[in-house]
Chains A and B, each alone.
Chain A
Amino acid sequence: MTPVLAIENLSLSIAGVPVVDGINLGVDAGEVMALVGESGCGKSITSAAVMRLLPGAVSQTAGDIRLAGESLSRLSERQMQAMRGRRLSMIFQEPQAALDPLSTIGTQIAESLRQSARAARPAVLHMLDEVGIADPARRIDQYPFELSGGMCQRVVIAAALIARPELLLADEPTTALDVTIQAQILDLLRTLARERGTAVLLITHDVGVVADIADRVAVMYAGRIAEAGPVHSIFAQPRHPYTQLLLASVPRLSDVPKSPLAVIPGRVPTPLEFGPGCRFASRCPRADAQCVAQTPPLRPLGDSDVACWHAA
């Protein structure tokens, strides 16, 4: 089966400095794929590349992005524009910032349908209901400032899904929300994606969010995929040392109170510090000469793919 989204050997550079280095990723219909990693690992820029809404300084230096087999990289801007909102869409980290403060929410949702707010009104009302907004007939004419953060994210989701896109990119969709609202929004995303068969690429730094909602996960470190596979396998048996340390650093309620948080020593290298070998080598307890000298390829191991010389 052709995956809805296939990222093939994608490399991105900011002003000539490589920040994403040959990553491969696929998302199937109705599946939630989490792309997890620390700030600055290149995950958000990857989703911007899929939308072809990269900031001016960033350029795609290699690879291809396919939507249902069709190469997006070769489309003209006009063709790409026709796809956005209809075949692939996006939700954002700060829902209130992602909405124009001076337009009603109904107008903004209607834009995804390429219809006037009046023509799209019945469809928008129905969609508001689907994303769980009470009293849509009143809300549709309100402005973002009249809604809470959680409601705004429901509005953003409504705008992203109303045209029934095949692919939804969700860039940290719950990071700016209260914990209780987070769970509701994740639940909503998962339900809607299932019902509609939408493929979801979820960008997050929150391992807890991955466990809640994702079917598969790709762990990204310093512009490369470290490990990818089904969520249950990776959580049960992480094989890459980075994944192991990342999962170990998540605080648990069962921890002894006030015990020190587990941290990974050192820091993520900046793109200018990237060497020829594994980028985690500088922080890895198992690193040796081969790790520093040679990049480990992503190879299948059990249910997962792992980029580590020592993983077994």
Chain B
Amino acid sequence: MIGHIASRLGQALLASFGVLTIVFFIMRLSGDPTLLLVPEGASLEQINQLRHQLGFDRPLPIQFAAYLGDLARLDFGESLVQRAPVLGIVAERIPYTVALASGALLVAIGIGIPAGIVMAVARGTWLERALAGFVLAGQSLPTFWSGILLILLFGVTLGWLPTSGADGIASLIMPSLALGAVGMSTFARMTRIAVLDELSRDYVTAARARGLSRGQAVVGHVLRNAAVPVVTIAALEIGNLLAGAVIVETVFAWPGIGQLAIQSIQSRDFLVVQTVVLFVSLVYVATNLLADLLYALIDPRIRMGA
């Protein structure tokens, strides 16, 4: 088990390094931030001087090696635009995104998994069809569109919730719903399939032959077996959630790392973008490791290495 986790950790770090490398070079395809930093009307000489000062005139591999060297010392550098340490800039945004992602995950899991279970158990009834329509809507509405619709209804027409910004729990509700909707549908569909798959197994009939009701068999045996594929989806869904956060944070003017990433890409604030990417990929790695541990908790065959 420990060897397994160590090897997964090694793979994960390699993947993070790969992501970082790609982002580093792609960012630089669009040029460097020198032109955005100099005052209007600056001479070519002044521009070149600044470029040299910032080190953007060096060959890319050398810039990359220097960046990795800094990273190895946990030096994330300084934002060229804000003239402040990158770590601080990113760190002050992280709680907002964590709050948003938690809210969205609560929506996705809290609604999606029960909906999926009910759809499987109530297969072929009006209840399943009603839920299927609901799930399809959540899946089909693009986040930017559902976000705007929510703002229109609850923010503008009804005036119940703030239309944007980060001002307490109330302002978290709509972004969480908009961000969680797609994940909710994914969870509902995957849970439905996993539960249906388990319901058809012999051990369910056997449990019922021992005198369990269908509901008791579902609660006592089926759900735990269906949990393994759902945990896999949950781990992957965290990644989608962080990607969706970029859009939702923009729509709702939510000051998280998604919004920061967009702003930093626009101002070519390379070090900030790279640090955000690094953070997101580390979160992804951590959730997948957590999923591995959960498998072991759920399934004794994995725990005992069978």
Q: Which residues of A contact B205 (CB under 8 A)?
A: 53, 92, 98
Does A100 touch B at the CB level, under 8 Å? yes
Check B210–A100 contact: CB distance below 8 A. Answer: no
Pick from A17-25, A80-88, A282-290 the stretch touching chain B: A80-88
B225 touches A101 (CB 8 A): yes
Chain A residues with CB under 8 A of B212: 81, 111
Closest beta carbon of chain B to A138's beta carbon, Å? 14
- B208 contacts the other chain (Cβ, under 8 Å)? yes
A156 to B206, CA, bound (A): 9
- Cβ contact within 8 Å between B206 and A102: no
Output the least CB separation between A100 and chain B (Å). 4
A180 CA / B291 CA spacing, docked (Å):
42
Q: Which secondary structure characterizes the binding site on chain B?
A: helix
In the assembled complex, the CB of A292 is this many whole angstroms from the nearest CB of chain B, namely 39
Specify which of A81, A99, A100, A156 is in contact with B211 (CB 8 Å cutoff).
A81
Is A299 on the interface with B (CB-CB < 8 A)? no
In the complex, what residues of A have CB within 8 A of residue B225's CB? 100-102
Residues of A within 8 A of B298 (CB): 102
Q: Is B224 an interface residue (CB 8 A)?
A: yes
CB distance B209 to A89 under 8 Å?
A: yes
Residues of B within 8 Å of A101, CB to CB, are: 203, 225, 299, 301
Give A51 to B204 CA distance when docked, in angstroms.
Answer: 14
B211 touches A85 (CB 8 A): yes
Q: Quick check: is B169 within 8 A (CB to CB) of the other chain?
A: no
B300 at interface by CB-CB < 8 Å: yes
Nearest A residue (CB) for B211: A85
Which listed residue, B202, B203, B209, B300, touches A84 by the CB 8 Å rule?
A: B209
Interface residue? A36 (CB, 8 A): no
Number of A-B contacts (CB under 8 A): 74
Nearest residue (CB) in A for B203 is A100
Q: Select one of B206, B211, B224 contacting A98, CB under 8 A.
A: B206
The 0/1 profile, CB within 8 Å of B marked 1, for residues 87-98 of chain A is 001101010011
| Structural contact, A90 and B301, CB atoms closer than 8 A | no
- From 286 to 306 in chain B, residues with beta carbon under 8 angstroms from any chain A beta carbon are 298-301, 304, 306
User: Quick check: is B207 within 8 A (CB to CB) of the other chain?
Assistant: yes
Closest Cβ–Cβ distance, residue B102 to chain A (whole Å): 28
Interface string of A24-43 (1 = CB under 8 A from B): 00000000000000000000
Bound complex: CA A146 to CA B304 (Å): 10
Q: Closest CB of chain B to A245's CB: distance in Å?
A: 32
Asked if A103 is at the interface (CB within 8 A of a chain B CB), the reply is yes
Which one of B207, B299, B301, B304 lies within 8 Å of A111 (CB-CB)?
Answer: B207
- Count of A interface residues, CB-CB < 8 Å: 29
| Proximity bits, B20-60, A CB within 8 Å = 1, else 0 | 00000000000000000000000000000000000000000
Contact (Cβ within 8 A) B202 A111: no
B213 at the interface (CB under 8 A from A): yes
A159 interface hit (Cβ, 8 Å):
yes
**Contact flag A53-B209 (CB < 8 Å), given A97-B202, A101-B225, A101-B301:** yes
Residues of the A chain whose Cβ atoms lie less than 8 Å from the Cβ of B207: 100, 108, 111
Contact digits for B194-232, partner A, Cβ 8 Å, 1 yes 0 no:
000000011101111111110000001100110000000
From B201, B210, B212, name the one whose CB has the most chain A CB atoms within 10 angstroms: B210
Residue of A53, A94, A103, A159 touching B208 (CB-CB under 8 A): A53
A74 at the interface (CB under 8 A from B): no
Per-residue contact bits, chain A 131-170, to B (CB 8 Å; 1 contact, 0 not): 0000000000001011000000000100110000000000
Q: Does A126 contact B (CB under 8 A)?
A: no
A160-B207 Cα distance, complex, nearest whole Å:
10
State A51–B207 Cα separation when bound (angstroms). Answer: 12
* Chain A residue at smallest Cβ distance from B123: A56
Q: In the bound complex, what is the Cα–Cα distance between A84 and B301 (angstroms)? A: 30
> If the complex has contacts A143-B301, A145-B300, are A98 and B210 also in contact, measured as CB distance less than 8 A?
no
Within 8 A of A (CB), among B225-271: 225
With A53-B205, A97-B201 as known contacts, state yes or no: A102 contacts B224, CB within 8 Å: yes
Q: Is A114's CB within 8 Å of the partner chain B?
A: yes
A157 to chain B, nearest CB (A): 12
A112 located at the interface, meaning its Cβ lies under 8 Å from any Cβ of chain B in the complex: yes
Q: CB < 8 Å: which of B203, B209, B220, B224 contacts A90?
A: B209
Nearest 7 interchain pairs by C-beta: A85-B211, A97-B202, A98-B206, A85-B210, A90-B209, A84-B211, A100-B221
- 8 contacting pairs across A/B (C-beta < 8 A): A51-B209, A81-B211, A85-B211, A90-B206, A97-B201, A98-B205, A102-B300, A146-B304
Additional A-B contact list (11), CB under 8 Å, known A100-B207, A101-B225:
A53-B209, A85-B209, A85-B210, A97-B201, A98-B203, A99-B203, A100-B203, A100-B221, A102-B224, A102-B299, A103-B224
